[in-house]
Amino acid sequence: MRIDLNPELNVFFGRNAQGKTNLLEAACGLSDGRSFRGAHVEDLIRRAETDAVVDGVFESSGIETQLQVRFNRTVRQYWVNGKQVHDVKDFAGRLKFVIFSAECLGIAYGEPQTRRDFLDRGIFSLNPSYLLTARTYKQVLRQRNELLRQPDRDETVLQAFTERLVESGSRIIDQRIRFTSLLQECVPDLHRAVSGADETIELEYHTSLGHPQNDLTDLKSRFHQKLEQVRSDEYARGSTLAGPHRDDLEIRLNGIDIRLHGSRGQRRSCVMAMKLAELTQIGRTAQDPPILMLDDIASELDRERLVRFISLIPDSVQVLMTLNAVDSDYFRPNMDLFAVDTGRIENVSAALLKNNPDVISLSKGD
């Protein structure tokens, strides 16, 4: 199956379970070799088949790049411009995107992990080698936790892994603090525009290491100190009790923590503003704006807020959006419309616009 996308807005509509989300997941797979829902790309293989290929061509600064993920149930291969690359780190991050799905609303009230993932994904878009740092940290953490569970462990071995933990963990915290302040630069204005209310949003990275100066050496020594403090607890519980895997992002509205006290509407506006801030900052730093994927958000957001949200997306951003039903409120002059039905995708722009000439005038109106 092959689809030619519009450089601005692409709307995929159809009833549930027809394959709309799979399509966005396939596109995301081209960015990081994974799926945005945390599910594995293997889940995208059609039930009766054993292999699948996701193939995409994108253009950045006038240069076309072809990306391919080939996979079956056990092996995953990455290809760039017809050449196989052997490590996902040499593949990931070429195609940048920001995803906004109904699940993203959990950023405002869900587990800290949801907010850490939000930060990590953004940092990865700006700096693909962050993947390597994150991967290293995860592995050290597993090794160190295992060691803490062993009653007869060698203290010098523990010190060696602690050293590695601090090394990669401090880098992660440093990157997260920097990314948070990058978001903070533009999030208040975006939030006012989305919510239509005169409230001030504030993002602050909250680490168990206190308030470090933005300096790697300071972070490392604080990290060591903290581990020293919690040492006996770590022995008792057999687990690493300080580090970026226990941090959180504080979201405050007029000084009030919305993770605990926000209303439904306030939380939604905050997440929308944070997503727009991510889009803005990645677009500013990368050569090209990222692709924005909006998965089924109309089912979760009220129409007024959503129309404001869409009007805030710059024209230069390519948007892939799924909807359960066609709704011309979200349309733009330059767009393509695709009908998705039982895994088949058909471009119906021409047919639909002919039947409904109001579509164009409507979208020009806003």
Binding track over 118-157 against other proteins, x by CB under 8 A: ---------xxxx-xx--x--xx-xxx-xx--x--xx-xx
Q: Which of residues 34-63 bind other proteins (CB under 8 A)?
A: none
Closer residue to other proteins in complex, CB, 64/152: 152
**Binding to other proteins in span 76-95, by CB under 8 A:** 89
Residue number with CB closer to other proteins (65 or 136): 136
Q: Rounded to whole angstroms, how far apart are CA atoms 176 and 290?
A: 19
CA 14, CA 5: separation in Å to the nearest integer? 17
Q: How far is CA 226 from CA 120, 122, 147, 231, in A?
A: 23, 27, 18, 8
Does residue 306 contact residue 298 with C-beta atoms inside 8 Å?
yes
In the bound state with other proteins, the residue whose beta carbon lies nearer, of 154 and 329, is: 154
Minimum CB separation from other proteins for residue 160, in Å?
4
Q: Which of residues 217-256 bind other proteins (CB under 8 A)?
A: none
Closest separation in Å from C-beta 244 to other proteins: 15
Q: How far is the CB of 64 from other proteins (least distance, A)?
A: 20
Closest to other proteins by CB, 87 vs 304, is 87
- Using alpha carbons only, what angle is made at residue 112 by residues 24 and 26, rounded to the nearest 5 degrees? 10
What DSSP assignment string belongs to 163-227? HHHHHHHHHHHHHHHHHHHHHHHHHHHHHHHHH-S---EEEEEE-TT-S--S-HHHHHHHHHHHH
Smallest distance, other proteins to C-beta of residue 215, A: 14
Which pair of structure tokens corresponds to residue 107? Answer: 């950023």
- Report yes or no: 291 and 317 within 8 Å, Cβ to Cβ: yes
Q: How many CB atoms lie within 10 A of CB 248?
A: 18
Cβ of residue 54: shortest distance to other proteins, in angstroms? 22
Q: Measured from the CB of residue 159, what is the shortest distance to other proteins in angstroms?
A: 7
By beta-carbon proximity to other proteins, the closer residue of 65 and 328 is: 65
- Decide: is 160 part of the binding site for other proteins (CB under 8 A): yes
Interface with other proteins (CB under 8 A), residue from 12, 58, 118, 161: 161
Residue pointed to by tokens 């070429």? 94
Under rule CB under 8 A, how many of the chain's residues touch other proteins?
Answer: 26
What three-state secondary structure class fits 64? strand
Between CA 83 and CA 69 the distance in angstroms is: 11
Shortest separation between residue 167's beta carbon and other proteins, angstroms? 8
Q: 134 is written with which tokens?
A: 């994150």
Between residue 281 and residue 310, which ones bind other proteins under the rule CB under 8 A?
none
- Give the residues lining the site for other proteins (CB under 8 A): 89, 127-130, 132-133, 136, 139-140, 142-144, 146-147, 150, 153-154, 156-157, 159-161, 163-164, 171
